[in-house]
Amino acid sequence: MQDFTVTPWEVSGAIDYDKLVRQFGTARIEAALRNRMENKCGELHQMLRREFVFSHRDLNLILDDYDKGRGFFLYTGRGPSRGMHIGHLVPLIFTKWLQERFKANLYIEITDDEKFLYRREYSWTDVQKNAQDNILDIAAVGFDPDRTFIFRDSEYVKNVYPLLLRTARKITGSTVKAVFGFDDSTNVGLSFYPAYQVIPSFFEKKRCLIPCAIDQDPYWRVQRDVAEGLGFHKTAAIHTKFLPPLQGVSGKMSSSAGGETAILLTDDEKTVKNKVNRYAFSGGQATVEEHRKLGGNPEVDVSYQWLSILFEPDDARLKQVYDDYRSGKLLTGELKGILIERLNAFLKEHREKRKKAEKEVRRFMYDGKLAKEMWARTYE
Ligand code: TYM
């Protein structure tokens, strides 16, 4: 028995990322590949530098294509739900960085169909409301409006239906059972859905690179089984680890696990402060005296981990926090204070960008250069 689980539907336990790489058949991003990225990009995003972006499929082929002038395109997505949390922004923030560095087109799939099929408590109206709301948060990340197309599955389906059927015809029931753990009680909509999550990787004849957390990788295994038979490239992927929940460094931040484990994008300053102070798992000692004497453990401290993943881009400053916490100079309350300040500054900025996105969102969905091209295009 394994003590952790990672599937597109469930992430729990203390994740052994090396084991996961072996199980999923992906590859670790080794130093040589990181250096290659650095040479091309001028610098590395902190998530790559600190190995939070840790695994890939065929990233080397993407860079080869880029070098040869063939280029590549990016694809990522979101299953809309009530309220996004900062974990959901992690792959999007990294995707934005990739788009800026490589000037690549980006497709963002909003899987209203998937959510409707999976979450029985949602009505269709709920799902559409959530999708609209989530799209604003996604647009607020700041992608290039002429190189980005955000679409809802239910709306774009008319442009892709023949290709979707051609893809579905290649995927058997036994494949989705084996890959996703579906059984005879799974509704047939969900058995069909994986075909749609594959489709955006066929939007261009170039090679596709998918940034996501590693829970989505089973879809790319299916994609890679069928792509060449349909006349497309096997997709490449670049995987992040999971932003941990407040309660401790195992599992992933998830909104369905209850509001206390996650910082939602709508949380106000007071809520953030209370959640972090109350719930953020600490690597500190029981008393101040002991902490001063023995020091804390940043490896298990959620506040430190979040700073490292997202909120402290400066390596020297991060190291200072690490050293001070280890030595006992920095107390748990002080470390939490740093995180609270960063989180609230981040969320304040996000709220402002979201407000602006209300005006810009049509460009991503309908009026921008890429969006217009996509609405004029059909796929067989
Ligand atoms: P969804 O909505 O569950 O998640 C959206 C993206 O966020 C990632 N993610 C996290 N990343 C870091 N830390 C976390 N705690 C965390 N929780 C979620 C997910 O890996 C994902 O990248 N079926 C998909 C929607 C989808 C998609 C895609 C995702 C369609 N096409 C292509 C990625 C790439 C879903 O429900 O994602």
Which amino acid, one-letter code, is at 147?
A: R
| Residue 54 pLDDT | 98
Asked if 149 and 374 count as a contact pair (C-beta separation under 8 A), the reply is yes
pTM of the model: 0.97
Distance CA 250, CA 3 (A): 11
Residue 214 CA to ligand 1 centre (angstroms): 9
Mean pLDDT of 247-265: 81
Q: Which atom of ligand 1 is nearest to the CA of 215?
A: 20
26 in Cβ contact with 237 (< 8 Å): yes
Query: What string of DSSP letters covers 344-376?
Result: HHHHHHHHHHHHHHHHHHHIIIIISHHHHHHHH
Over pLDDT 70: what percentage of the chain? 98
Query: What values do phi and psi take at 246, rounded to 5?
Result: -55, -35
- How many A from CA of 108 to the centre of ligand 1? 11
pLDDT digits (tens, 9 = 90+) for 201-253: 999 999 999 999 999 999 999 999 999 999 999 999 999 999 999 998 777 88
Nearest CA to ligand 1 atom 30: 77
Pocket of ligand 1 (CB under 6 A): 8, 75-79, 87-88, 90-91, 109, 111, 114, 197, 210, 212-213, 215-216, 240, 242-243, 252-253
Strands 207-213 and 72-78, how do they pair?
A: parallel
Alpha carbon nearest to ligand 1 atom 18, residue: 88
- Give pLDDT, residue 1: 54
| Residue 149 in tokens | 């197309």
What pLDDT is stored for residue 257 in this prediction? 62
Mutate which of 88, 164, 247 for ligand 1? The one with the most ligand atoms within 8 Å of its CB, which is 88
Where helices occur in the chain by DSSP H, the ranges are: 17-24, 31-41, 46-49, 59-67, 86-102, 112-118, 124-139, 153-168, 173-180, 188-198, 217-226, 269-279, 288-294, 302-306, 315-327, 332-362, 369-376
pLDDT tens figures, 88-141: 999 999 999 999 999 999 999 999 999 999 999 999 999 999 999 999 999 999
pLDDT at 369 over 70: yes
Contact 12, 248 (CB under 8 A): no
For 25, the token pair is: 């058949």
Q: Is the pLDDT of residue 258 over 90?
A: no
- Ligand 1: residue whose CA is nearest its atom 26: 77
Ligand 1 center from residue 76 Cα (angstroms): 8
38 compared with 260, residue with greater pLDDT: 38
Could you tell me where the DSSP H helices lie in 282-366? 288-294, 302-306, 315-327, 332-362
- Using CA positions, which residue lies closest to atom 25 of ligand 1? 78
Q: 237: closest CA among 29, 19, 6?
A: 29
pLDDT for position 249: 79
